[in-house]
Amino acid sequence: MKRLYWMSPDIFEAEVKVKAIADGKVTIEPVIFHPDEGGQPADKGAIGEANVCNVEIVNGQIVHTLDRPLSDGKYIARLNKQRRLYTASQHTAQHILSGIAEKQFGLGTTGVHIGFERCTVDFDRKIDSETVKELEQKSMEVVTLNIPVETVFNDTDVRIRSNSREIESDVIRVVKIGDYDKSACCGAHLRTTGQIGIIRIFDIENKKKGTRMFFLAGRKALEQSQLETSVLRELRKSAGCSTSELSAIFQKTLGHSKELTKEINRLWSRMLPELVKSAEAAEVESSKIGIQVTDVPRQLVTKLAGMIAEAIDGTGIVVSDVSIAISSNRMNANELLRKIQNTVGGKGGGSAKAANGKLNRTVTTDELITILKHY
Ligand SMILES: [Zn+2]
């Protein structure tokens, strides 16, 4: 099994010998499609007229799943070049990041994922944003130096990262990037580090005892940076300040907003007793009901219904726009809610003591009384 992309990663088209092993499944020689392996997604493309839907390792063989069967013979195989260049860029960038992280910061790589929206490297320890900044700068130096990405075989001085556990061949293929990285890997890479263009680290998050680092390389990194720049531009425009002032202004605004919320809650708690008193009194099945149809914040609808029920030792019904809450010491709140919903529609429910939900339309106090008395 000759993996052409190990030594010639820039061959995107080749004549291959196809051997059918099952319906729509073939092996090819030489192999030009990278399988789903080591955190790098499978290549796509075509073999003859058949599209390659998936490439995976099955019992030590690289198996291609096609959208139609192919009989044994020679065919031209073509890679989806854009997809390969994307995954190879991210993967080569990951080698550089993991290599520098290990050599200069003593960080071991415990996992790698190459995705089409985001890529991650997991490290075995916690790292801070200063380390991230330095790691990003140093990795960009390696890009600028345009160092060859070399393949050597059976090197004795090699680190095997956890993502390379699936190596099943008798030869160990080692990928070497100058003095920056040397590790066993089955993946597809770029020829030189300069082809990556850009490496950006966008975020870090805690992952158990270690750190998950989010990065992107190449055009995708540029696009993500442009997106973040445009968000910053919008924020600067709204806040009327410079980028460096944004954080302080945001914190101040957040604090102000919390103060206002507190103030509003305080004012409402003063007004609620008045709304209890002004609730419209009705009697249904010789039980007292207090109804209040008014605008109150959604989170206070249930509280107010409870206060009314308590005050009249009966049932409190509160409707604010289409939100409804019923609290009852004497009747079944859930059944009352269902009775109202049967006429005006809506959803929600609860227990005998308390129920709440949404109505399909607004209602008046008189309408509610009519529904409760006659339906
Ligand atoms: Zn690799």
What is the DSSP secondary-structure string of 109-135? EEEEEE-SS-EEEEESS---HHHHHHH
Residue 135 CA: distances (Å) to CA of 97, 107, 110, 295: 7, 11, 17, 55
pLDDT in tens, the chain (375 residues): 788 998 899 999 999 999 999 889 999 999 999 999 888 999 999 999 999 999 999 988 999 999 999 999 999 999 999 999 999 999 999 999 999 999 999 999 999 999 999 999 999 999 999 999 999 999 999 999 999 999 888 776 666 664 444 445 557 889 999 999 998 888 999 999 999 999 999 999 999 999 999 999 999 999 999 999 999 999 999 999 999 999 999 999 999 999 999 999 899 989 999 999 999 999 988 899 999 999 999 889 999 999 999 999 999 999 999 999 999 988 999 999 999 999 999 999 999 999 999 999 999 999 999 999 886
Using DSSP, state whether 236 is helix, strand or coil. helix
Using DSSP, state whether 30 is helix, strand or coil. coil
Fold held by 85-236: Threonyl-tRNA Synthetase; Chain A, domain 2 (3.30.980)
Distance from residue 185's CA to the centre of ligand 1 (Å): 5
pTM for this one? 0.77
Q: What CATH number does the domain located at 4-79 have?
A: 2.40.30.130
What is the rounded CA–CA span in Å between residue 12 and residue 32? 7
Q: Is the peptide bond before 30 cis (omega within 30 degrees of 0)?
A: yes
Distance from residue 360's CA to the centre of ligand 1 (Å): 58
- The number of helices, as runs of H, and strands, as runs of E, in the chain is 8, 19
Instruction: Please report how the helices 243-277 and 218-239 are oriented relative to each other, as an axis angle in degrees rounded to 10.
Output: 60
CATH 3.10.310.40 correct for 279-374:
yes
Distance from residue 164's CA to the centre of ligand 1 (Å): 9
Distance from residue 212's CA to the centre of ligand 1 (Å): 19
Distance from residue 174's CA to the centre of ligand 1 (Å): 8
Indicate the domain borders of the chain.
Answer: 4-79, 85-236, 279-374
